[in-house]
Amino acid sequence: MKRQATGVTEATGTVTAPPPRSRRALVAGSVGNFIEWYEFGVYGYFATIIAAHFFSPGGEGGAEALVRTYASFALAFFFRPLGAALFGRFGDRAGRRPALVLAVLLMTGATTLIGLLPTYATLGATAPWLLTLLRVVQGLSAGGEFGGAVSVMTEFAPPGRRGLYGAWQSFTVALGLLGGAGVAALLAALLSSGQLHAWGWRLPFLLTLPMGLAALWLRLRLEETPSFRGERRGADASPAAPPVASPAAPPVAPAREAVRAVALGAGRLMGWSAAGYTFLVVLPSYLQTTLNATFQQALTATVLANLGFAAAILPAGALSDRVGRRTVMVAGAVLAVLLAFPLLDLLQDPAAPTAAKGLAVVAAGAVVGLMAGPGPAMLAEMFRTHVRYTGLGLAYALSNAVFSGCAGLLITEAVERTGDIDIPAYYVAATCAVSALALATLRGDDHRRALRD
């Protein structure tokens, strides 16, 4: 029985890790993810100020400058798939640890430099290009972060707890967004509007430096996962493959299988990506530019939505270990479809009680949490060990590039062109409906199976 405590379960042969190593892996995997989403949240919360400083020669901001700001935001997301492919290939070959160390170094450096970047008033047209370049670097590193963090968390997870361990990835998304919103709200309370606009917006980006150094220290102490070590040992022990004598089993079949899994995984994540960014990141700018809310009011609504999101994630992940990923995630997608229009109608109603609006945005965040909690484990279970980092990272990055990164740009542009302030609800309902159909194809017992070798 001692073998079970140190690496292999007798019943299934699944490689496992002792609890202390599992907990260390959970922290090391989570901390870089926190930094990534803290920064992306901060960029979204200060989008109107960034628009005025970098995308408006006169410094006045406005809808057109905000669209350009979200275009830069979306561009970073479109570099995520490239980052997922590059870091994933590296992580599947050299190990999860070196890839995650490199990802956190790039993210920390790029985010800190944004806090030091001269504005349009100083550099002219060079300023928005430099900002966009740093966003590209962030997109590359963020693309490499998810696949590695989820691989580490789920491959170190004890039997029967993959959903809970994987949910920590999503939970640190919520913590990062909440951290960014909290810092933004604190600065808005402590600084005057002029101070916040002039230099206060830089402080949240500069805070990334000490956080990044702490994350680097934790990841340098991280061990390789049991699954990766087992797969490497198996690959080293295998003799060279004999020549293929028959075309009955084409050598491209595994690649085809991985490509199909990436496409299906992106579809299953579509609703989480779209609803998550609409309710948790784009909401502040929408409330300010469309519903004429103040900066403080918009941030308060966002904090409440993220609190609901955070509160639902870990219970949803743990529940999926008991009843299955399909049941929990489909429920979240369907609820998002049903609640999208009533939520927006309530926020648009000036006579609606403030408490009711607060409860509505909390509920919206919680619905997203039902999809986000089991999501990482669901993806990890779709891919084999030797392509897991690449595969799940690509599925997540593609879904986020299209349905998260473009959310702010599409919603802002569509509202401006059509005058229809219900655009966010249409976007959430449509994407979550498609996602629910893709999630319905999950097997009901995936949560009970060992990760694929």
Secondary structure string (H, E, C) spanning the chain: CHHHHHCECCCCCCECCCHHHHHHHHHHHHHHHHHHHHHHHHHHHCHHHHHHHHCCCCCCCCHHHHHHHHHHHHHHHHCHHHHHHHHHHHHHHHCHHHHHHHHHHHHHHHHHHHHHCCCHHHHCCHHHHHHHHHHHHHHHHHHHHHHHHHHHHHHHCCCCCHHHHHHHHHHHHHHHHHHHHHHHHHHHHHCCHHHHHHCHHHHHHHCHHHHHHHHHHHHHCCCCCHHHHHHHHHHHHCCCCCCCCCCCCCCCHHHHHHHHHHHHHHHHHHHHHHHHHHHHHHHHHHHHHCCCCCHHHHHHHHHHHHHHHHHHHHHHHHHHHHHCHHHHHHHHHHHHHHHHHHHHHHHHCCCCCHHHHHHHHHHHHHHHHHHHCCHHHHHHCCCCHHHHHHHHHHHHHHHHHHHCCCHHHHHHHHHHHHCCCCHHHHHHHHHHHHHHHHHCCCCCCHHHCCCCC
pLDDT, residue 64, reads 64
Task: Give the start-to-end residue ranges of the domains of the chain.
Answer: 12-230+254-448
- Higher per-residue pLDDT: 379 or 23: 379
Q: pLDDT digit string (tens) for 294-325?
A: 777 777 888 888 899 999 999 999 999 999 99
Q: pLDDT digit string (tens) for 217-268?
A: 999 988 888 888 887 776 665 555 454 444 444 444 577 888 899 999 999 9
Does residue 214 have a pLDDT over 50?
Answer: yes
Q: How confident is the model at residue 63 (pLDDT cuts 50, 70, 90)?
A: low
pLDDT over 90, % of the chain: 43
- List, in order, residues 6 or more apart from 108 with CB less than 8 Å away: 35, 208, 209, 211, 212, 213, 215, 216
Mean of per-residue pLDDT scores for the chain: 84
Considering only 15-24, 150-159, 383-392, 430-439, which range has the smallest mean pLDDT? 15-24
CATH of domain 12-230+254-448: 1.20.1250.20
Closest by CA to 61, choosing from 46, 73, 74, is 46
pLDDT, residue 37, reads 81
Q: What is the mean pLDDT of residues 269-293?
A: 83
Q: What is the mean pLDDT of residues 78-105?
A: 92
pLDDT, residue 250, reads 45
Does residue 4 have a pLDDT over 50?
Answer: no
Considering only 70-74, 141-145, 150-154, 266-270, which range has the smallest mean pLDDT? 70-74
Quote the CA–CA distance of 128 and 133 in Å, as a whole number: 9
Q: pLDDT digit string (tens) for 195-211?
A: 988 899 999 999 999 99
Residue 122: exposed, middle, or buried by beta-carbon count in 10 A (0-12, 13-18, 19+)? exposed
Q: How confident is the model at residue 388 (pLDDT cuts 50, 70, 90)?
A: very high
